[in-house]
Amino acid sequence: MKVAVISFPASNCDRDALVAVKKFTNKVEKIWHKESNLANDLDLIIIPGGFSFGDYLRSGAMASISPIMQEVKRLAERGIKIMGICNGFQILTETGLLPGVLLRNKSGKFINKNALLRVENTETAFTKNYKKNQLIKIPIAHMDGNYFADVETIKKLEDSNSIAWRYVDEYNNLSDVSNPNGSMLNIAGVFNSKKNILGSMPHPERAVDENTGSSDGIMLFESLFS
């Protein structure tokens, strides 16, 4: 399994992603966004969190036109797995590789806490080691995590089972109270229709060691590397 982690100016979770991946393989490389080539034999590309280009214009907008993203798009077409976390999710929506957009949090505030999530689809390369409807704890840290899409797109996401996880309460119930940022249908992460691309506002790479408060993210990496 060969992995690339893309770095942009002001990416800040690239190291965390590397540390998480290195629990499973040493074949991982950090790649600068100005590169215009990605190896065809990559298995996984991670677009990490951060504040690429200072969130100028819109979160993820500037990064979406970096040279490397043409390559990411090319490899996405070939079915290579791509995971965008937090700012990486924003970049993937701006690129058009994932539907919808991440708006400013409804509260207008930056939110940094452990979020409780319900795993919605366990039939993907990213989530197969989780149990259906499993309740997991994964940290969130974002200003723009309010998932928004038009009614038609939301229906398509539901019909194609493309919602990865949703914000719930400790009893695994969906509610407005358990929704930290105002996301439609409490959506915390989505797949593309082919399920080779995942975008997630919660940070699984920050939950791979009990010492950091949760290791519930490890199963995502176990799914990918098993």
Partner 1 sequence: MKVRIYITLKKSVLDTQGKAIENALNKNLGFNQISQVRQGKLVELELTESDNEKAKKIIDEICDKLLVNKIIEDYTFEVVE
Contact positions vs partner 1 (CB under 8 A): 57-58, 61, 65, 94, 100-101, 103-108, 146, 148-150, 182
Question: Is 189 or 217 the residue whose CB approaches partner 1 more closely?
Answer: 189
Question: Is 39 or 65 the residue whose CB approaches partner 1 more closely?
Answer: 65
* CB-CB neighbours of 215 under 10 Å: 14
Q: How far is the C-alpha of 67 from the C-alpha of 109, rounded, in Å?
A: 32
Question: Is 100 or 204 the residue whose CB approaches partner 1 more closely?
Answer: 100
* CB-CB neighbours of 170 under 10 Å: 9
Identified catalytic residue from 13, 33, 142, 203: 203
Q: How far is the C-alpha of 211 from the C-alpha of 134, rounded, in Å?
A: 21
Beta carbon of residue 98, minimum distance to partner 1 (angstroms, whole number): 12
Beta carbon of residue 177, minimum distance to partner 1 (angstroms, whole number): 18
Beta carbon of residue 222, minimum distance to partner 1 (angstroms, whole number): 34
**93-132 CB burial, b ≥16 within 10 A, e <16:** bbbebbbbbbbbbeeeeeeeebbbbbbbbbebbbbebbee
Does the annotation count 205 as an active-site position?
Answer: yes
Does the annotation count 86 as an active-site position?
Answer: yes
Identified catalytic residue from 13, 33, 86, 142: 86
* CB-CB neighbours of 222 under 10 Å: 15
Annotated catalytic residues are 86, 203, 205
